[in-house]
Amino acid sequence: MNKKLTQTRLILAVISTALEEAAIWAVWRFLLPEFDINLHVGILIGVMIAWGVFSICTFLFTTRALRKQAMVGLPSMVGAKGKAAGNLNPEGMVKIRGELWSALSQDGNISAGEEIIVTGENGLKLLVRKSGANVKR
């Protein structure tokens, strides 16, 4: 996420928090007295401070979450475990995270249903070994 987008989000967060704080004040000043509810100004200040802290924490959390880049594709599969969907002799299909992938066995033949672990990639195929075998990266 670029710096300009973060600055824009910060400006919008400040404006929206100011409007929310104004709404809290308006409810305290005009709406609650209509129902004969009179709260001390200290309660108003406490609520406004708590809302401000909540808004800051939410902004920081979402900014941090948006900065993280999701790792996708074959390189992110290295180290993942799954099962052989069919016989691999030495090529076949494996099921990892509920998805079918084309794979190439580095251990020779692997029977359907055997546990496998992804050790690398070769083009659009995953390189796999039996889960009990030593994993070489």
Sign of CA dihedral 27, 30, 32, 35: negative
* Phi, psi dihedrals of residue 119, rounded to the nearest 5°: -110, -15
- Chain centroid to Cα 59, Å, comes to 16
Could you report the per-residue pLDDT of 105-115, keeping only the tens digit for each?
998 899 999 99
Q: How much is the pLDDT for 76?
A: 76
Residues of the chain short of pLDDT 50, as ranges, are 134-137
* Phi, psi dihedrals of residue 59, rounded to the nearest 5°: -60, -45
Q: How much is the pLDDT for 136?
A: 46
Q: How much is the pLDDT for 137?
A: 42
Q: How much is the pLDDT for 51?
A: 97
Task: Give the other-Cβ count within 10 Å of 75's Cβ.
Answer: 9
